[in-house]
């Protein structure tokens, strides 16, 4: 990538977002009243701390996502050179897939993919 | 002293990294610290883009900014004292840590400044996806096919480990 393109991209991005925020701040009429901080339309006002502890299932899904994310990182370079590497590359990626599918099967067997 | 655009970009990115790194470790709310860390990682990806490491930059954005931070936020939300604000650090502690940090900076800077860097005359090779793919899958000398397959084992181990830990004590 060209350095100038990156710089231009950065400037445009900063300008676009900054302009939207500044423009909205200048143009928008401002009115503040207590109703605006309430829960929208439904529900009772909350009491105390509204943070709640997450289910461990989220963590499990996040880590499975991350592992397959890492996997895609290694598959992309293979996909680029797939044709020129030919059969050898295909066999190598098949071994790679096979080992990872074992992990997926394990997750399936242990009911890690079921939301509880 | 005149700045070229590239230098200016580098200064902007490194300033963002330094500022948000400091905010990450000084923030008293843990969730905010995670978000500051996200900004640090994104600016690091910007520096990789400047160095023409597109692949590494994409990995940085996709894995670190997209994956690791999500994981960190989920693990924060799993704990029971999320809303807890850390207590203010005593002034004595902050003075001593400031001294330690400054000493560390001095040692590193003197080491870097005293070192005679030699210009690298080797022809720089553009690292593109094609080269990475060929190297990763080649089994010749200098190829990385064994590490490539070992990585899949490592990923398998981490997947199984995560499932075992998350499912601990539950009947399957």
Contact B152 A54 (CB under 8 A): no
The rounded distance, in Å, linking the Cα atoms of B156 and A41 is: 47
Of the candidates A66, A69, A81, which has its C-beta nearest B133's C-beta? A81
- Distance, in Å, from the CA atom of B32 to the CA atom of B82, rounded to the nearest integer, reads 11
d(CA B21, CA B15) in angstroms, rounded, equals 10
C-beta atoms of A110 and B156 within 8 A: no
Domain residue ranges in chain A:
3-109
**Of A59-63, B32-36, B117-121, the least confident:** B117-121
DSSP B85: B
Nearest-CA distance B82 → chain A (Å): 7
pLDDT of residue A111: 82
ipTM above 0.85, yes or no: no
Superfamily classification of domain A3-109: NADH:ubiquinone/plastoquinone oxidoreductase, chain 3 (1.20.58.1610)
Between chains, do A62 and B151 touch, taking CB under 8 Å as contact? Answer: no
* Facing residue for A95 by CB, picked from B132, B139, B149: B149
Rounded to two decimals, the pTM is 0.77
Q: pLDDT tens, A47-96?
A: 777 677 777 778 888 888 888 888 888 888 888 888 888 888 888 889 99
Determine, for residues B162 and A3 on separate chains, whether the beta-carbon distance falls below 8 Å. no
Q: Looking at residue B82, what is its pLDDT? A: 67
Cβ–Cβ gap B67/A7 under 8 Å: no
Closest CA to A92 of A106, A78, A80: A78
Q: Could you report how far apart the first and last alpha carbons of chain A are, in Å?
A: 46
- Test A77 with B55 for CB contact under 8 angstroms: yes
pLDDT of residue B100: 94
Chain B partners within 8 Å of A102 (Cβ):
156
pLDDT of the residue at B23? 92
Predicted local distance difference test score (pLDDT) of residue A21:
93
Distance from CA of A26 to the nearest CA of B (A): 27
């Amino acid at each position: 990538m060209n350095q100038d393109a990156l710089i231009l991209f950065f400037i445009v991005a900063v300008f676009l977002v900054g302009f939207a925020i500044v423009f909205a701040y200048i143009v928008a009429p401002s009115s503040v009243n207590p109703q605006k901080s309430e829960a929208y339309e439904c529900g009772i006002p909350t009491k105390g701390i509204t943070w709640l502890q997450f289910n461990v299932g989220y963590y499990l899904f996040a880590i499975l996502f991350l592992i397959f994310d890492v996997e895609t990182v290694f598959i992309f370079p293979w996909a680029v050179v797939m044709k020129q590497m030919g059969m050898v590359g295909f066999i190598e990626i098949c071994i790679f897939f096979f080992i990872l599918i074992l992990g997926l099967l394990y997750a399936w067997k242990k009911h890690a993919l079921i939301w509880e | 002293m005149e700045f070229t655009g590239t230098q200016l970009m580098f200064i902007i990115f490194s300033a963002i990294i330094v500022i948000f790194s400091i905010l990450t470790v000084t923030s008293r709310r843990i969730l905010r610290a995670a978000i500051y860390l996200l900004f640090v990682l994104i600016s690091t990806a910007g520096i990789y883009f400047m160095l023409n490491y597109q692949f590494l930059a994409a990995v940085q954005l996709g894995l670190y900014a997209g994956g690791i931070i999500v994981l960190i936020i989920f693990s924060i939300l799993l704990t029971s004292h999320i809303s807890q604000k850390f207590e203010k650090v005593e002034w004595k502690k902050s003075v001593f840590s400031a001294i330690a940090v400054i000493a560390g900076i001095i040692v590193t800077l003197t080491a870097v400044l005293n070192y005679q860097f030699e210009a690298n005359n080797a022809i720089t090779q553009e690292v593109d996806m094609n080269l990475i793919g060929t190297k990763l899958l080649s089994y010749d000398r200098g190829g990385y096919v064994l590490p490539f397959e070992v990585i899949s084992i490592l990923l398998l181990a981490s997947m199984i480990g995560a499932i075992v830990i998350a499912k601990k004590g539950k009947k399957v």
